[in-house]
Amino acid sequence: MPGKIATVAAIAAGGLLLSNQMRRRRESAAAHWAEEANDGRAPSGTALTAVAALAVGGLLLSSRMRRMRGAGEASSISQSIEVDVPVSTAYNQWTQFEEFPKFMDSVEEVRQLDDEHLHWRANVAGKTKEWDSEITEQIPDQRIAWRSTGGVRNAGVVSFQKLSDAKTRVTLQMDYRPESMDEKIGDVLGGVKYTARDNLKRFKDLIERRGAETGAWRGTVAQH
């Protein structure tokens, strides 16, 4: 199920572009600083600030990347959104896993194999990846927990909290392990968090526009 959200690491490609852009800006600022010095002028505050800020940003990114590379570090996110539909409507729609591509960016297909198992295909950092996941716990109108069983490694839970008869808070919590360098850079820059947030916004738009779920599965999966 939401195992797909690990695919949001596809934004890592954008993270790589941003990293390159930071390097170019740092080099440009340094060149401007050198030009001022050659002309006998004291380096301007703008040039000094730009070099310092970009240098610190690059140092933090480099340090974070070294830690992740050395320890195989996992990451976590938590995002919530309020939707203006009853809790049962929000929950029922989320159980329609094969409709995830309608609001989850980069997910190309989700096939439900049985009540507890799903197969995913998604575009991750420009590459197509496929993996399986299993539902480890499912309680109607409360929570759906999952973990991947191969491929993109991730696990988490989506919970549903009734705020009123017509309002529900949906919270996504996920642990994942970036694999490629592009995915790791995207993670350092917060890409997975931002994509998860945008996916929840699209879910909100989808369910509020319809006003009703397109289907429902009200079975229970015992925690395991």
183 Cβ neighbours under 8 A, 6+ residues apart:
9, 12, 124, 125
- Residue 75 parent element (H or E): strand 75-83
Three-state DSSP class for 220? coil
> What DSSP string describes 192-217?
HHHHHHHHHHHHHHHHHHH-S-S---
- Across-strand partners of 107? 122
The alpha helices in the chain, defined as continuous H runs, are 12-38, 45-71, 87-94, 181-188, 191-210
Q: Report the chain's C-alpha Rg in angstroms.
A: 22
Enumerate helices (H) and strands (E) in the chain, giving the number of each: 5, 7
Separation of alpha carbons 184 and 65, rounded Å: 7
Separation of alpha carbons 42 and 47, rounded Å: 10
Domain boundaries, the chain: 1-224
Give the pLDDT confidence score for residue 16 in this predicted structure. Answer: 41
Give the pLDDT confidence score for residue 97 in this predicted structure. Answer: 97
pTM for the full predicted model: 0.68
Question: CATH number for the 1-224 domain, one of 1.10.3720.10, 1.10.8.50, 3.30.530.20, 3.40.50.720?
Answer: 3.30.530.20
Give the pLDDT confidence score for residue 185 in this predicted structure. Answer: 59
What is the token pair recorded at 11? 């934004």
- Relative to beta strand 154-164, strand 143-148 is antiparallel
Give the pLDDT confidence score for residue 15 in this predicted structure. Answer: 43
Give the pLDDT confidence score for residue 61 in this predicted structure. Answer: 47
Give the pLDDT confidence score for residue 9 in this predicted structure. Answer: 39
In this prediction, the residues of the chain whose per-residue pLDDT falls under 70 are 1-73, 177-191
Separation of alpha carbons 196 and 79, rounded Å: 7
Separation of alpha carbons 58 and 18, rounded Å: 11
Three-state DSSP class for 123? strand
Give the pLDDT confidence score for residue 150 in this predicted structure. Answer: 85
Judge contact between 127 and 135, C-beta under 8 A: no
